[in-house]
Structure 1
Amino acid sequence: MKGIRAKLSTLLLTLLLLVPTMANAHTVSTTGPSPDLRSALGRLLGEHAILAVVAMQKGIDGAPDFRKAANALNQNTDDLTVAIASVYGKDGAAAFKTIWSSHIGYFVDYVKATAAKDEAGTKKAIADLEAYRMEQAKFFADANPYFDESIIASELKHHIDHLLSAFNNYANKNYTAAYKDAQTAYTHMFATGDALAAGIAKQFPSQYSDASSTNPASDLRSALEQKLGEHALLAVFAMQKGIDGKADFADIAASLNRNTDDITAAVASMYGKEAGEAFKTIWSSHIGYFVDYVKAMAAKDEAAAAKAVHQLEQYRMEQAKFFAGAIPSLSEQTLAEGLKMHIGHLLDAFNAYVAKDYAKAYADVRTAYSHMFPTGAALAAGIAAQFPEQFHTANTSSVPSVQKVWFQVKSNLLTIDGSKTTMDTMPFVNQGTTYIPLRYLAEGIGAKVVWDASDDSVWIIAGENKAEFWLGADFMEMNGQRIEIGDPIIMKDNRTQVPVRFIAALFGWDVRYNTTDWSITLTKAMAMEASSNHH
Structure 2
Amino acid sequence: MRKTTAFAGLGLAAALVLTGCSATAEETAEEPMTSEENEVEEAPMIDTVNSDGSNLRAQLTALLADHVYLAGAAIDQALQDGGDLTTEQVGAAVAALDENSVEVAALVGSAYPDAEQPFLDSWRSHIPFFVNYTVAKATGDQAGVDQAVADLGGYAVSFGQLINSVVPELPAEAVQGELEMHAQTLLAAIDANIAGDPAYFGLLKEAASHMPMTAAALAGGIATNLELQ
TM-score above 0.5:
yes
Q: Counterpart amino acid of 2:203?
A: D
Higher strand share: 1
Aligned to 1:167: 190
Aligned to 2:95: 71
Aligned to 1:45: 64
Aligned to 1:201: 223
1:146 aligns with 2:172: no
The equivalent position to 2:129 in structure 1, one of 106, 109, 112, is 106
Q: How does 1:362-401 map to 2 (within 5 A)?
A: none
Aligned to 2:154: 131
Q: How does 1:59-458 map to 2 (within 5 A)?
A: 59-62=78-81, 65-90=89-114, 92-176=115-199, 178-205=200-227, 208=228, 211=229
Tell me how far 1:25 sits from its aligned partner. Answer: 9.4
Tell me how far 1:75 sits from its aligned partner. Answer: 0.5
Following the alignment from structure 1 to structure 2, what is the Cα–Cα distance between the partners of residues 25 and 54?
46
Tell me how far 1:103 sits from its aligned partner. Answer: 0.8
> Number of residue pairs matched?
182
Structure 2 portions without partners, runs of 5+: 1-42
Deviation string 1:139-182 (CA, Å, 9 cap, x unpaired) is: 11111111011111111111000110001011111122x12211
Q: How does 1:21-40 map to 2 (within 5 A)?
A: 26-40=45-59
Tell me how far 1:116 sits from its aligned partner. Answer: 2.6
Tell me how far 1:29 sits from its aligned partner. Answer: 4.4
1:57 aligns with 2:76: yes
Following the alignment from structure 1 to structure 2, what is the Cα–Cα distance between the partners of residues 48 and 62?
21
Give SS of 1:31's match: coil
Following the alignment from structure 2 to structure 1, what is the Cα–Cα distance between the partners of residues 117 and 177?
24
Following the alignment from structure 1 to structure 2, what is the Cα–Cα distance between the partners of residues 27 and 149?
30
Following the alignment from structure 1 to structure 2, what is the Cα–Cα distance between the partners of residues 127 and 73?
23
Deviation string 1:49-94 (CA, Å, 9 cap, x unpaired) is: 111111111112217522211110000011111112112223x222
Deviation string 1:201-247 (CA, Å, 9 cap, x unpaired) is: 11011xx2xx3xxxxxxxxxxxxxxxxxxxxxxxxxxxxxxxxxxxx
Q: Counterpart amino acid of 2:170?
A: F
Relative to structure 1, the CA distance from residue 121 to residue 85 in structure 2 (aligned partners, 3 Å threshold; closer, same or farther) is same
Aligned to 2:28: none
Aligned to 1:493: none
Structure 1 portions without partners, runs of 5+: 1-23, 212-535
Deviation string 1:367-408 (CA, Å, 9 cap, x unpaired) is: xxxxxxxxxxxxxxxxxxxxxxxxxxxxxxxxxxxxxxxxxx
**8 Å Cα contact 1:59/1:111 also seen in 2:** no
Aligned to 1:313: none
Deviation string 1:351-379 (CA, Å, 9 cap, x unpaired) is: xxxxxxxxxxxxxxxxxxxxxxxxxxxxx
Q: Counterpart amino acid of 1:57?
A: D
Deviation string 1:317-370 (CA, Å, 9 cap, x unpaired) is: xxxxxxxxxxxxxxxxxxxxxxxxxxxxxxxxxxxxxxxxxxxxxxxxxxxxxx
Give SS of 2:210's match: helix
Relative to structure 1, the CA distance from residue 203 to residue 107 in structure 2 (aligned partners, 3 Å threshold; closer, same or farther) is same
Tell me how far 1:121 sits from its aligned partner. Answer: 1.3
TM-score, normalised by the number of residues in structure 1: 0.33
Tell me how far 1:28 sits from its aligned partner. Answer: 2.9
User: Which of 1 and 2 has greater Rg?
Assistant: 2
**8 Å Cα contact 1:53/1:167 also seen in 2:** yes
Relative to structure 1, the CA distance from residue 28 to residue 87 in structure 2 (aligned partners, 3 Å threshold; closer, same or farther) is closer
Q: Counterpart amino acid of 1:186?
A: A
